[in-house]
Amino acid sequence: MKKTTIHDIARELNITFSTVARALRNNPAISEATRVAVHQTAERLNYRQNKLASSLRSGSTHVIGVIVPSLHVSFFSSVVHGIEKVMNENGYSILLYQSNEMLRQEVKGIETFLQSRVDGIISSVTLETEQYGHYEEIKKRNIPLIFFDRTLDALNTPSVTINDHQGGFMATEHLIQQGYRRIVHITAAQNMPIFKERLRGYKDALERYGIPLQEELILQGQFSIEYGRSCIRQLREQGITFDAVFALEDYTAMGVIQQLQAYNIQIPQETGVIGFANEAFGELVHPGLSTVDQQTVKMGEEAARLFLKTVLNKEPAEDRPAEKVVLEPVLIVRGSSRRR
């Protein structure tokens, strides 16, 4: 069966090839009546646009690449939802790639996107990412690059983040105001700015309320449910007393709750728990998990808008202003920490 072309639509309507092409792109120079007629005829003739040929002519694929560490975490899924919403509204599609927290997978994802001639890349870096030549390559090619949540401070790149220092401060302050005093903070590798800032917020809250900082109450490792459980086992085995835990994210906080319950420790009466990220399961468990919401959908929407602004800015990548959008965290108080 012969494939319908733009020339077929032009002959059908007795108009020029260029008029059909502009009408299909909804060019405002073409009258509304002509645009409607072209789209109706294209649908009737089962016309399918040759996107590759179109991209070669225009230099744009109207596709962007999005790299996330993991889609198993609803935080990243929600951010992607926000990105896709804004991009679809503006005529773009997205290619999605999971790095699975591995640098080599992140590099492979970037290579795939560049081979696919994407118009831009939105990324949240892996925990392993300390070398960033693959991101520098993007900038050398003058392709828009936007970071969200996890960024690389050494690169002059637009980004969307949460105020992690404020979030860490809010979580710790909430526990203090509920009467807790020996507050454990479970964190991760401090090469990642978001975890460094949450730790700084924790320390500043303790100082604000005159509570001495005790290094034995700060634990550092890879975050997961099992790591949350192992932290509580470690504290108990070492005889370190505590009455609250601020975990760097909700999965670790969930592991904390599970292990406390295994020890028959009452939550929140004996020990309070708060996480970070507001994962979907937090309001379904018992007791409900207190947390800090990162406005994930808004984060994705803002990242997409930064990309669109960058596209309109025709300056070379190295000359573009690196706009930094910082969202405000929102404290979500549930049963795991509400003692008063």
Q: What pLDDT score was predicted for residue 76? A: 92
> Alpha helix locations (H) across the chain?
6-13, 17-24, 32-44, 51-58, 74-89, 103-115, 133-140, 164-177, 193-208, 225-237, 250-262, 296-312
pLDDT at 49 over 70: no
Confidence (pTM): 0.79
Q: Give the residue, 52 or 197, on which the prediction is more confident.
A: 197
- CA–CA separation, 274 vs 67, rounded Å? 28
Per-residue pLDDT tens digits for 251-294 = 999 999 999 999 999 999 999 999 999 998 999 999 999 999 99
Mean pLDDT calculated for residue range 31-39: 88
pLDDT at 44 over 90: no
- CA–CA separation, 221 vs 238, rounded Å? 17
4 within 8 A of 45, measured Cβ to Cβ: yes
Q: Give the residue, 156 or 63, on which the prediction is more confident.
A: 63
Burial 148-160 (b: 16+ CB within 10 A, else e): bbbbbeeeebbbb
